[in-house]
Structure 1
Amino acid sequence: MAKQHIYTMSFSKVYPHYVTKGEKKGRTKTEVDEIICWLTGYSQEELGVQLEKQTDFETFFAEAPQMNPLRTLIKGVVCGVRVEDVEEPIMKEIRYLDKLIDELAKGKSMDKILRK
């Protein structure tokens, strides 16, 4: 089976869209970064390196220092697909991130987004 196009896409090309989506709703780049770091275990500096290297999505998630175990609490629909029903591991991680960014844009508090 061929790889999904998103897997080979540079994370740094999509990242500005995450930031823009949040900022359009009055949220900040700092909050977007906090979500990404919470999900993946990257530090702010490590996230910056990944963006500079233009790492693809598959590598970005495969090399993540520590995927947050609480991410399994993320439920809901992204692009018409239930996040919890996605079976392919990398796509599931991508959908988790998409769902968290959606929650940010919808005005949820950071405590709820980060499952505190």
Structure 2
Amino acid sequence: MQLDILMIEDEVNIAEAVRFILTRAGWRVDLHGDGDGAIQIIRTQRPRLLILDLMLPNRSGAEILAELRQDADPELAAMPVLMLTARGQVGDAGGQADAVLSKPFDNDDLRAMVRKMLS
């Protein structure tokens, strides 16, 4: 069974809360805690949706997203990406992401956005 959502987020409390919310809504969610090795994990797990924090240790979400969008595999390059940011810190990455959600966010907004992106 294909993984629904891969979340790359270094703030453990946020990552676990999002996993709890989305798992209760019926999606399969896996977590990764930093930017190092993220592309390889994305290639291996091939999730239906990537939730990507902008500010990550070792490699930024913007760098990961830019590399993903240029991947030779068209499925990976077109993967839907929901970018998580602190308010006002989207920058250029927001243009490459399919959607952007600012922290802190409402749980209902998160579920609705994920539902829309996975439909």
* TM-score over 0.5 (shorter chain): no
- Measured against the shorter chain, the TM-score band is 0.3 to 0.5
Higher helix share goes to which structure?
Answer: 1
* Structure 1 length-normalised TM: 0.35
Which has a greater percent of strand? 2
